[in-house]
Chain A
């Protein structure tokens, strides 16, 4: 006895294969669309900017002569900015996530808080800029300093870090917590010695990706009114400064065509910083990930 009607299968098979091929092609085009756009963008930026990219470009201040223009103030400014954003946002973000996942009881108020943190992640960055201008720049009187900009950026990426940290903490199996309690550990000991170490890869990956977003954000800095024309380096978190995206934006707006190329060189620097940060995230994820 035969279980298959071979004639029917053969008849349908070609149709099914064709159908499969069609969808495969559509999905492939969808994938290549993004990749081709990225490749064109990279090609344009690199061919335009590579000629202006040299050691002087990294060690000079901005200049009215495209050949002498450098990105020193912006690069150092962005690194200072990250030195404020990283500790503030990670400490607050991970703290919030630990509270929400380990301590908070499941009730309406906490559900409301959780929901709003997710909503906060969707607020446009310019709104955070306005918030920063009102609170940090004017009310607290920090001025257009690294501190004011750093706190604003921290608020901007905080929801992303909280959500990432929550996911990471939630992924730690309950068995581990119970085993820890069973050995007589307190809740605090369990969190600090069992849960956090297991969650750190996820937390750090999420945090670094969030920091990469902060380093490329322009809108909040524009709203705060970060200067772009300056010839000095910051000396403390209360110094005025400029950042990479601001400097690139300023160059791109210039009438002289050469400045478009200088802007492209600036983009290469910013992308290099971003790629380094993302690589660290990938490295941490691959190296320290534990599977249960």
Chain B
């Protein structure tokens, strides 16, 4: 019987400890509970520049590496500001932005009209800020020596859903009479939306395409099939250059120069973050973080495989942010 007593005691003590932790949580609710609404007040001591408070963001997985780098650096500058950023995809991020759960939302495409409308209904005023460029890269198998330079029209003809089975020879009779295997990012991603908009004019993407939210799966898919074609952010191409072939679009190959100069068009795209105006006004920490983000996004973008905006552009974006305060 002793064993039982001992065991029950341990169980009771264990849950008491765990419950104690919960009880402790209640007392500090005022500090942290309000962080969920995003509009919490920050305390700033007069003498020091150290801020306190919390900032919440969510959104595109394409933008995430830049933001992660900035958050990492910012933790050194302002250790008491709690920045948390989710990676729910551009669409998923906006959903949380509309629900008022986040102070900023990262996006790899412009905000859609329906999202604008919902934000209006929810009474959320926002401002669009550009933070970097990405060159959406169309890739093929390295042994594919025919489709290395495609025009936008050819891309459209290839990727559009028209009910037929796509073969390379449909585009150019001199190309192999083989089925094309398509790889595309998932429908929740801004990358998919952007490609769909600029290449397919919003029409349906070919149904036989393999969709994946994980871009590494796309890399593996394209690298493993001679007849494959796919597209994703420039960073994924850069890291897998040896395994993939790149497609020039209208004769231009994506690289840091052609993306920044917008010569690589229409697939070089700006990356955005949308900030909630109220949060910038009321939450000192949120404003400070966004300021820091814009000041450092250029360097960080380069470090993680993206392309920074021209210097003047960052100044413009900073001015937009400063006007909100």
Contacts and interface: CB of A to CB of B under 8 A. Distances in A.
A95 B42 CA distance: 43
Contact of B32 (A204, A231, A239): A239
A225 B7 contact: no
Interface in A205-255: 222, 225-232, 235-240, 242, 250, 252-255
B293 to A, nearest CB: 12
A287 to B, nearest CB: 8
B323 interface: no
Interface string A107-143: 0000000000000000000000000000001100111
A277 B1 CA distance: 25
B239 interface: yes
Nearest to A85: B18
A64 B69 contact: yes
Given A200-B7, A255-B215, A229 B87 contact: yes
A130 to B, nearest CB: 12
A253 B3 contact: no
A153 to B, nearest CB: 14
B298 to A, nearest CB: 15
A192 B203 CA distance: 66
Contacts of A142: 36
A90 B8 CA distance: 13
A90 B12 CA distance: 11
Nearest to B74: A231
Contacts of A83: 18, 21-22
A116 to B, nearest CB: 27
Interface stretch (B60-68, B148-156, B247-255, B259-267): B60-68
Contacts of A235: 28, 31-32
Interface residues of A, number: 47
A35 to B, nearest CB: 26
B28 A255 contact: no
Interface size class of B (residues with CB under 8 A): 35 or more
Interface string A80-102: 10011011001100000000000
Interface string B285-305: 000000000000000100111
A86 B68 CA distance: 32
Interface in B1-19: 1, 3-4, 7-8, 11, 14-15, 18-19
A55 to B, nearest CB: 20
Given A138-B99, A143-B35, A87 B18 contact: yes
Chain A CB within 10 Å, residue with most, of B22, B25, B64, B99: B25
A143 B39 CA distance: 13
14 contacts: A63-B72, A86-B15, A145-B32, A145-B36, A147-B22, A200-B11, A229-B83, A230-B83, A235-B32, A238-B25, A238-B28, A238-B35, A252-B214, A253-B215
Interface of A: 61-64, 80, 83-84, 86-87, 90-91, 137-138, 141-145, 147, 197, 200, 204, 222, 225-232, 235-240, 242, 250, 252-257, 260, 288
Interface of B: 1, 3-4, 7-8, 11, 14-15, 18-19, 21-22, 24-29, 31-33, 35-37, 54, 56-58, 61, 64-65, 67-69, 71-72, 74-75, 82-88, 92, 96, 99, 101, 213-216, 233, 235-236, 238-240, 300, 303-305
